[in-house]
C-alpha cells in the first residue's frame, strides 16, 4: 500500500478562513462512495478546525509525499462569504500543480502555506467562470511574488487566447514592474497548451495527467468539451490515481473510520 495522501483544505468561518489538514490513508482515489461520519471522525475534524492557521500551514509544509490541497470547493459562479471558487493544488516533489482557478485561488494558496514561486503547472478542467476566472491573476500574482520559472497551462481551447488577452489587459502594470522593478519578463514564463480531446496530456517525474472527452450542459444545449479527468502519481511504487468529478474536484477516498 502506498503512503497516504495528505488532504489540506482552507475553510472559512465568518470572515476568517480556517484551514483544515487531513491525512488520507487510501492508496487510490476512486469514483463513488458515500461518506459516513462516526463520532471519532467528527471529533477529530472539530479538533483540527480549532488549530490556528500558522500551525496548520507549518504542519502541511512538513508533510512528505504528495499533498492534495482543497483550496476552494464552492460550485457555481456566485460569490460566497465562507467558501472560495473551485480550485485544488497537488504538491509533490516540491512542485505545485493547480487544478482549476476559481475566484480567490492565489489568496487561498498563500493561506494554505503554499509558495506561489513553486507553481509549475495549471490545469483547467473546463471553461466555466467558476473554474477559470482567476487563471490570469494567479499567473500574475505568482510572478509578482517572485516567480522566475516557467508555468505550463493546460486546458481546452481557447487557452492561448485567454492568456494572450489577459496579458494585453494587464500590459501597463506588467510593463511598469518589469521596467521599474527589474522583474524578468512575464510572457516568456507562460507556456499555454490546448487540449482537443482525450488521451495523454503531460507527465514528469511526479505526475502523469490524462484527459477524457466530457460534456457539460448550458441552458438547453449539451456542449462537448475536453476535460481534465485523471492524474496519476508516478513517483512511488504502483500508481496513485486522482480521477476528477464533472466539477473538476478530485474524488476523495473514504478512510477506514469513515466507512464504519
Ordered mean pLDDT values, 10 residues apiece, the chain (260 residues): 52 47 35 34 40 48 75 92 94 95 97 97 95 97 98 96 98 98 98 92 91 60 47 50 47 34
Cβ neighbours for 172, distance < 8 A, ≥ 6 positions apart: none
Whichever domain contains 91, its CATH number is 3.60.15
The b/e string for 188-225 (b: 16+ C-beta within 10 A; e otherwise) is ebbebeebeeeeebbebebbbbbbeebebeeeeeeeeb
CA dist 84 and 18 (Å) reads 12
**Into how many domains does the chain fold?**
1
Contact 142, 151 (CB under 8 A): yes
pLDDT value at residue 11? 55
Give the gyration radius of the chain's Cα atoms: 18
- Which strand ranges, in their side-by-side order, compose the sheet holding 240-243? 199-203, 207-218, 221-233, 240-243
Full-model pTM: 0.69
Which domain covers residue 182, as residue numbers?
5-259
The residue with cell 485561488 is 105
Amino acid at each position: 500500500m502506498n503512503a497516504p495522501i495528505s488532504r489540506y483544505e482552507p475553510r472559512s468561518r465568518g470572515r476568517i478562513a480556517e484551514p483544515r489538514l487531513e491525512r488520507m490513508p487510501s492508496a487510490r482515489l476512486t469514483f463513488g462512495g458515500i461518506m459516513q461520519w462516526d463520532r471519532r471522525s467528527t471529533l477529530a475534524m472539530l479538533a483540527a478546525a480549532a488549530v490556528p492557521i500558522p500551525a496548520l500551514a507549518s504542519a502541511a509544509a512538513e508533510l512528505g509525499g504528495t499533498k492534495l490541497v482543497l483550496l476552494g470547493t464552492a460550485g457555481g459562479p456566485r460569490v460566497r462569504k465562507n467558501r472560495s471558487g473551485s480550485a485544488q493544488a497537488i504538491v509533490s516533489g516540491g512542485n505545485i500543480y493547480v487544478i482549476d482557478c476559481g475566484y480567490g485561488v492565489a489568496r487561498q494558496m498563500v493561506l494554505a502555506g503554499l509558495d506561489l514561486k513553486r507553481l509549475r503547472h495549471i490545469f483547467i478542467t473546463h471553461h466555466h467562470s467558476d473554474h477559470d476566472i482567476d487563471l490570469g491573476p494567479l499567473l500574475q500574482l505568482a510572478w509578482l511574488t517572485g516567480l522566475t520559472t516557467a508555468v505550463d497551462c493546460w486546458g481546452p481551447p481557447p487557452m492561448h487566447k485567454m492568456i494572450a488577452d489577459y496579458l494585453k489587459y494587464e500590459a501597463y502594470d506588467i510593463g511598469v514592474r518589469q521596467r521599474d522593478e527589474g522583474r524578468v519578463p512575464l510572457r516568456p514564463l507562460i507556456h499555454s497548451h490546448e487540449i482537443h480531446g482525450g488521451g495523454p496530456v503531460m507527465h514528469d517525474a511526479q505526475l502523469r495527467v490524462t484527459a477524457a472527452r466530457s460534456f457539460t450542459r448550458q441552458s438547453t444545449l449539451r456542449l462537448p468539451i475536453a476535460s481534465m479527468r485523471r492524474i496519476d502519481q508516478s513517483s512511488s511504487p504502483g500508481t496513485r490515481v486522482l480521477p476528477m468529478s464533472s466539477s473538476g474536484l478530485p474524488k476523495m477516498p473514504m478512510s477506514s473510520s469513515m466507512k464504519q
